[in-house]
Amino acid sequence: MVKDTCFIIAELSANHGGSLDIAKETVRAAKRAGADAIKLQTYTADTITLDVKTDYFKISQGTAWDGQYLYDLYKNASLPWEWHKPLYDVAKEVGLVCFSSPFDNTAVDFLEELNTPIYKVASFEITDIPLIQYIASKQKPMIISTGIATVEDIELAIGACKAVGNNNITILKCTSAYPAAPEDANLLTIPDISKRFGVRSGLSDHTMGIEAPMVAVALGATVIEKHFILDKKIGGADAHFSLDENEFKQMVDAVRLTESLIGKVDYDMTPKKIRSREFSRSLFVTQDVKKGDVITQENIRSVRPGYGLHPKYYNEILGKKFIADTERGEPLSLNIIESL
């Protein structure tokens, strides 16, 4: 997962429309859009919640899913486990990293059989320390979303990884709203995560559009995760805040451009910079002068181009004398004025 550029993840999530063919084509589309990886979610309704129809299990948070019971939502949104291998195979075929978020130990065991290269811990699972520790024990890179996390939750999650000798940890700033409002993004948290916890940081983005990933990369994000859908007409639990292929490609292009703009710390004088210095300021003679004339503000100036004496000498040479006749428009040099 370690690379010089930001690692961009297309989150398949529930955007499969109940069709393996759609899921496969979504993987191919993610590659076309420029993603580095496609991420799945590995759970069943029974491994993530209980089939209980009480208010405890009914969604009422002002979301697009309000009124549904958790069990029903997850039953419709889950990716069948028998689809995982075909999707891993397609990803390998097109050159994408494929990995998943497990939601219980049986999902971890299943993903180990597929030799998954990375594990992602979803934001609402950050409090499940035994699960995180079990995942981390597999010694694969860990990506953990913070969504609903307190500082203590993040510390506990990192501690769970380190307790089993896994220090390959990336923490993603995440706003657990679907979609998330820009004013709730608080992307300055990204560099603070790296500094505060001593880990890599990134963004799991639920805002609409592509601006947040651009800003996140400018702030040092090493991972960007964004929900991806083949076609929003497919519908589904996550369609309303997912990017389609064209939108995702625009995001990838914007992120890569941002990386190019950030570049590196650079004070080196390249041949191009040296040549461009020809247009910088320097001291020129502005009047015809004779040998013995005094240098004044009237007969020299700092102007473009840069073939003359450096302007830093300006005040030092005022009052000195020319030691040679010089025409207007000639660059001033130390060999035509008396010694400093």
211 and 245 co-located in one domain = yes
Both 230 and 257 in one domain: the answer is: yes
Which residues are within 8 A (CB) of 256 and not within 5 positions of it... i.e. 6 or more apart?
5, 34
Q: Are residues 329 and 211 in the same domain?
A: no
**Does the residue 236 lie in any domain?**
yes
Look at residue 178 in the predicted model and tell me its pLDDT: 83
What phi and psi, each to the nearest 5 degrees, are found at residue 203? -135, 130
Domain count, the chain: 2
Q: Does 2 fall in a domain?
A: no
pLDDT of residue 236: 77
* pLDDT average per 10 residues of sequence, the chain (340 residues): 82 92 97 98 94 92 82 88 98 98 98 98 95 98 95 98 98 90 95 98 94 97 96 84 95 97 92 92 98 97 97 97 97 93
Looking at the structure, tell me whether residues 218 and 328 fall in a common domain: no
Category of 67 on φ-ψ map: left (φ > 0), alpha (ψ -120 to 50) or beta: left
My answer on whether 235 and 295 are in the same domain is no
Indicate whether 174 and 301 sit together in one domain. no
pLDDT given at position 88: 98
Assess whether 216 and 305 both reside in one domain: no
pLDDT at 237: 75
Question: What pLDDT, on the 0 to 100 scale, is given for residue 3?
Answer: 60
Say if residue 214 is in the same domain as residue 329: no
- Where does a domain end: 230, 262, 294? 262
Beta strand 97-102 pairing with 169-174 = unpaired
- Residue 156 falls inside a structural domain: yes
**Which residues span the domain enclosing 172?**
7-43+78-262
* End position of a domain, from candidates 211, 227, 262: 262
Indicate if 154 and 116 belong to the same structural domain: yes
- Are residues 181 and 277 part of one domain? no
Q: Is residue 61 part of a domain?
A: no
Q: Which two tokens stand for residue 300?
A: 């020299």
Crossing angle of helices 20-32/245-262, nearest 10°? 30
Q: Are residues 191 and 252 in the same domain?
A: yes
- Asked if the structure places residue 48 within a domain, the reply is no
CATH number for the domain spanning 275: value is 3.90.1210.10
Q: Does the residue 73 lie in any domain?
A: no
Beta bridge partners of 100: 40, 119
64 in any annotated domain: no
User: Within a domain: residue 113?
Assistant: yes
Residue 2 is predicted with a pLDDT of 47
Query: What's the CATH number where 222 sits?
Result: 3.20.20.70
| The last residue of a domain, from among 210, 243, 262 | 262
Q: What is the separation of C-alpha 235 from the centre of its chain, rounded to a whole number of angstroms?
A: 27
Predicted local confidence at residue 60, as pLDDT: 86
186 and 294, same domain (yes or no): no
Residues 281 and 302: beta-carbon distance below 8 Å? yes
* Main-chain dihedrals φ then ψ at residue 290, nearest 5 degrees: -110, 160
